[in-house]
Amino acid sequence: MSKGSLVQTIEMSGYKLEGPYKIEGDNRLPTSSGIYMVLTKTDDSRLRGIYIAEAGNVKKHVFENPNVECWKKNQLNGISIWIHSTVGESKEEREAALFELREDRHYKMPCRD
């Protein structure tokens, strides 16, 4: 695996997210369940959310998502996918994580459903 393809871990709202993954053609995206965030870098290199969703198959959901153009339109300095795995979590745990990751922001995500 090349240096540029290494997966990193970040923490947001107390949840670990792995990434960065590309929004198109990244075969490293898991086919398992997870919550994924589409993030962009601000001018001061902070990560800012554009979109968040929960999916039973993250890879399929990302590749088939109709909001990709919105993601591209709202990116500042590139875009990437970051994933919180929900494998083995109950429905209540998944919903709580999605709510906290979505609502624990100090701004609105522009491409929210």
Domain membership of residue 42 (yes or no) is yes
Q: Which residues pair with 39 in a beta bridge?
A: 49, 80
What count of other Cβ atoms lies within 10 Å of the Cβ of residue 75?
17
Question: Residue 107 has what pLDDT?
Answer: 67
Classify residue 33: in a domain, yes or no.
yes
- pLDDT tens-place string over residues 41-98: 999 988 899 999 999 999 999 999 999 999 999 999 999 999 999 999 998 998 899 9
| Within-domain flag for 39 | yes
Q: What angle do CA 49, 20, 14 make, to 5 degrees?
A: 55
- DSSP assignment, residue 67? T
Residue 88 lies in domain? 10-103
**pTM score of the predicted model:** 0.88
24 has a pLDDT exceeding 60? yes
In the structure encoding, which two tokens stand for residue 44, read together?
Answer: 């001061």
Q: What's the structural domain count of the chain? A: 1
For residues 39 and 82, the answer to whether their CB atoms sit within 8 Å is: yes
Q: Is residue 110 part of a domain?
A: no
Structural domain includes residue 19: yes
CATH of the domain at 31: 3.40.1440
